[in-house]
């Protein structure tokens, strides 16, 4: 085959066939290069408005900010003042600051502050929400407990049990506590009283005194005639006139105003004792642990006791002390089930005088909030000896002068004077 002219080396092997208009061979289309399209030349400005950002090779990449985009059809940043100002505002460079540079600085500073605030808010949002949620939960728990406590106080029985007294008021608060065999909140006239104690709370709530009055203490009881008084034991006084007559008798013999009267059924003593897991008290055979019913039988037993009801009253004081100690343990106060059960057992077996309102009870409990069990002193009313008095049988004769002195010390809240009657 003869070589065409101008192709001495025979290099024209058909690759240029497409350039020959007379050639019948089909021209092969140009192939697209592999990879992303080449970037624009350095002298050409990228126009974000016309650039194909949805291209598969550029999809997902960060677009330039709105302030850095030049309007469609604008020239390069070097030739356009508006593009230069936009570029200067977005990047903080010196270009474009001749007009509105102060406003740009303020805007940049504001944007930085907003970014810092957003980072700070995102950083502290979760701990803040946790703290706020915990505080809200505490407030709701306290509110629910306050409402429940008020409901439990409203469930306490009330009856006219307080006697009138024309003497002076006391510095502290005096509550007559009567333990009776009457079940629940009933006031049965024929129910036997087991313990009569006077609880004195100091004015500042820092200490308390519990004075036991034995059931066979032979005291002067008021009658309908102010000039006539009857001599009988406290147990007989309770059977004759109930709690109002007992309160009137102690007020006259002590010269002390009794502010409130509360009667507790021994069903409540037993229930509270079982709720706290029993009590441990010293006995003649050593330290013993008793349940509620066992402690009731032990405290009321008089067999083998030299001082009769005096020793019985001291057993009841030991019982009351151990109940108070067991009721304020962390296991009782932190556990809501135990705390609710303790309130229920107490209020369902308690009757107070009709002047003892819920507000008075809350005020008394708030005043005694710092009272520790070891700051409660247990006393016995002063007495002389046992004697026989007609149909009353074996009675306990009081020390009248010492009884008035005890009443004076309680009225004036004299701690040292009260301490002289300590057991």
Residue pLDDT, tens place only, 373-423: 889 999 999 998 888 887 778 888 999 899 999 999 999 988 777 777 765
pLDDT digits (tens, 9 = 90+) for 278-294: 999 988 788 999 999 99
Helix extents (H) in 335-371: 336-347, 358-367
Segments making up each domain of the chain, as ranges: 96-154, 159-419
Q: What is the residue-wise DSSP string for 194-254?
A: EEEEEEEE-TTSS-EEEEE--TTBEEEEE-SSTT-EEEEEHHHHHHHHHHHHHHHHHHHHH
User: DSSP letters along 57-69, please?
Assistant: TTTTSPPPPGGGP
Distance from the Cα of residue 111 to its chain's centroid? 44
**Class of the 159-419 domain?**
alpha beta
Q: In the chain, how many H helices and how many E strands?
A: 11, 13
Rg (CA), the chain: 48
Which residue has better confidence, 67 or 180? 180
pTM over 0.85: no
| Contact (Cβ atoms closer than 8 angstroms) between residue 242 and residue 248 | no
Q: Which helix (H) or strand (E) holds 142?
A: helix 101-154
Among the residue ranges 76-80, 165-169, 211-215, 266-270, the one predicted with the least confidence is 76-80
Q: Are 394 and 215 in contact (CB under 8 A)?
A: no
Range 329-335 contact pairs with CB under 8 angstroms and sequence separation of 24 or more: 329/276, 332/276
Q: What pLDDT was estimated at residue 173?
A: 93
Strand 350-353 versus strand 394-398 pairing type: unpaired
Among the residue ranges 10-14, 357-361, 376-380, the one predicted with the least confidence is: 10-14
pLDDT tens digits along 36-51: 666 655 554 556 666 5
pLDDT at 33: 59
Q: Which tens digits make up the pLDDT trace of 190-226?
A: 677 778 999 999 998 889 999 999 989 999 888 766 6
Return the H-helix or E-strand segment holding 147.
helix 101-154
């Amino acid at each position: 085959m003869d070589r065409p002219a101008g192709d001495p080396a025979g290099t024209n092997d058909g690759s240029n066939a497409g350039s020959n208009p007379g050639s019948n061979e089909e021209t092969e289309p140009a192939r697209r290069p592999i990879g992303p399209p080449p970037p624009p030349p350095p002298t050409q400005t990228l126009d974000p408005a016309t650039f194909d950002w949805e291209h598969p090779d550029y999809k997902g990449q960060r677009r330039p900010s709105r302030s850095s985009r030049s309007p469609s059809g604008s020239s390069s940043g070097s030739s356009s003042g508006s593009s230069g100002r936009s570029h200067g505002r977005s990047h903080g460079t010196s270009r474009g600051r001749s007009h509105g540079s102060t406003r740009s600085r303020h805007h940049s500073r504001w944007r930085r502050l907003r970014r810092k605030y957003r980072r700070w808010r995102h950083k502290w949002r979760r701990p803040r929400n946790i703290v706020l949620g915990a505080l809200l939960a505490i407030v709701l728990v306290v509110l629910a407990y306050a409402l429940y406590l008020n409901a439990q106080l409203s469930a306490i029985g009330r009856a006219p049990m307080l006697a009138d007294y024309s003497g002076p008021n006391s510095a502290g608060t005096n509550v007559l506590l009567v333990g009776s065999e009457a079940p629940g909140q009933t006031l049965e006239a024929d129910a036997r009283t087991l313990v009569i104690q006077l609880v004195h709370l100091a004015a500042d709530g820092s200490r308390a005194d519990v004075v036991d009055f034995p059931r066979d203490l032979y005291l002067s009881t008021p009658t309908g005639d102010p000039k006539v008084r009857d001599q009988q034991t406290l147990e007989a006084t309770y059977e004759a006139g109930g709690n109002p007559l007992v309160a009137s008798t102690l007020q006259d013999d002590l010269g002390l105003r009794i502010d409130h009267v509360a009667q507790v059924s021994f069903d409540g003593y037993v229930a509270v004792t079982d709720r706290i897991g029993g009590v441990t008290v010293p006995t003649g055979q050593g330290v013993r642990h008793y349940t509620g019913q066992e402690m009731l039988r032990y405290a009321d037993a008089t067999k083998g006791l030299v001082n009769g009801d005096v020793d019985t009253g001291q057993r009841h004081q030991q019982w009351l002390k151990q109940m108070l100690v067991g009721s304020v343990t962390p296991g009782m106060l932190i556990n809501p089930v135990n705390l609710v059960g303790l309130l229920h057992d107490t209020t369902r077996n308690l009757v107070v005088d009709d002047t003892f309102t819920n507000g008075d009870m809350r005020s008394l409990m708030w005043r005694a909030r710092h009272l520790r069990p070891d700051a409660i002193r247990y006393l016995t009313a002063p007495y002389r000896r046992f004697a026989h008095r007609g149909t009353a049988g074996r009675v306990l004769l009081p020390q009248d002068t010492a009884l008035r002195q005890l009443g004076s010390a309680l009225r004036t809240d004299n701690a040292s004077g009260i301490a002289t009657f300590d057991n």
